[in-house]
Amino acid sequence: MGRNAKGISRTCAYESLRNEIDAILGCYGLQAVDISVRRSSGKALLDIYLAKMNSGIACSPNTSDLEEASSVLHIFFDDYFRDQDYVMTLSSPGLNRCLKTLYELKLFNGRMANVSFADENGESVSVVGKIVSADDDKLALFLNSGEVIIPIDSIRNAFLEE
């Protein structure tokens, strides 16, 4: 979940772009989860993963949400890329996609997640619970047996559950 020095400037640029997308789509109840930008054959290829906010909980957007977002974002990216060709793909993050950042753990507060982490002995532990909170130091999950606190640095991977 941590950043290496090489990825900091790229991460800042993506966070800035994500913030702009969130400002544009916020009135539609949509929020950017992750953005991938790469170049191929002279074109910019954008993959944008969106969540639909429902009573403060991030859910999967439906097809009409994605169509509306596409229409609005094309206006923004036509100006952003000016005379450059680009291809934009919008989708929901999906259940099989690993939660990659602290931002995503915060965004999916209230959702069920399967989290694998290293315990204090370095042993791998996997738990399923509701995300209660996340900050720079720890992730709090509510399990059937009560709340568990997991140090962010010990998380190996995390996936949303249905």
pLDDT tens digits, one per residue of 13-42:
778 898 999 999 999 999 999 898 899 999
* Residue recorded with tokens 């191929």: 40
What tokens were used for 8? 């900091």
pTM of the model: 0.72
Q: What is the mean pLDDT of residues 92-106?
A: 85
Question: pLDDT tens, 104-132?
Answer: 999 999 999 999 999 999 999 999 999 99
Residues 61-72 have a mean pLDDT of 95
Domains and CATH numbers, the chain: 5-91 (3.30.300.70), 102-160 (2.30.30.520)
**Residue 78: pLDDT above 60?**
yes
